[in-house]
Chains A and B, each alone.
Chain A
């Protein structure tokens, strides 16, 4: 059973546009929600993370929105750039659960 469901599987955005990736979870024990960015040939790298005591966290052009009641969280990339083209993974952990990942979203930002 997939603990974190991520959508869409792929996303194409024009330069300057907003990229939005969504994730949903079931386990209410989860209390930490990171996003990872992976470029081809590289391992995933932590991009930004949020805890459920806040509804939004912003770091530069990257924002996480968190909806605890709906058990959903999303990544927004403002002013998307070709250099943002990568695969993005949402993840969650909490309680006795190890870090679990969504299946990833391949983002392509066209110039």
Chain B
């Protein structure tokens, strides 16, 4: 069974630009969660989607947004990029949500803001 697919793997953007990252969950999984990973802060929760609805949101500014499509694929968008947004963005797929089912991670998208 195919794993979690995140695209692109690497991105370089300029301050002020916006970026869209994509995540395709494991087939049959209805929940997608997004995390930001940085060396100093570890894995920080961004948001979780279940059946196209945002179910949880972390403490990130409104520049970070996401959505989930009817096929469970998810995208996250970061607008007006800042240098501090440079990080590994991880997507986790789970059957019903990380509150009660296992989370499987993709390899991440490495975003560098210059």
Whether the Cβ atoms of A98 and B56 lie closer than 8 Å is: yes
CB of A27 to closest CB in B, whole Å: 13
**Complex CA–CA separation, A34 to B105 (angstroms):** 14
Number of A-B contacts (CB under 8 A): 47
Which of the segments A13-21, A56-64, A99-107 contacts the partner chain? A99-107
Residues of chain A contacted by B43 (CB below 8 angstroms): 44, 89, 101, 104
* Chain A: interface residue total (CB-CB under 8 A): 19
A46 within 8 A of B: yes
The interface of chain B, by Cβ under 8 A from chain A, is 4, 33, 35, 41-43, 45, 48, 56, 90, 92, 97-100, 102-108
Contact flag A100-B45 (CB < 8 Å), given A42-B107, A43-B108, A45-B105: yes
Contact A98 B98 (CB under 8 A): yes
**Which among A34, A43, A98, A100 is the interface contact of B106 at CB below 8 angstroms?**
A43
Interface, chain A (partner B; CB < 8 A): 34, 36, 41-46, 89, 93, 96-104
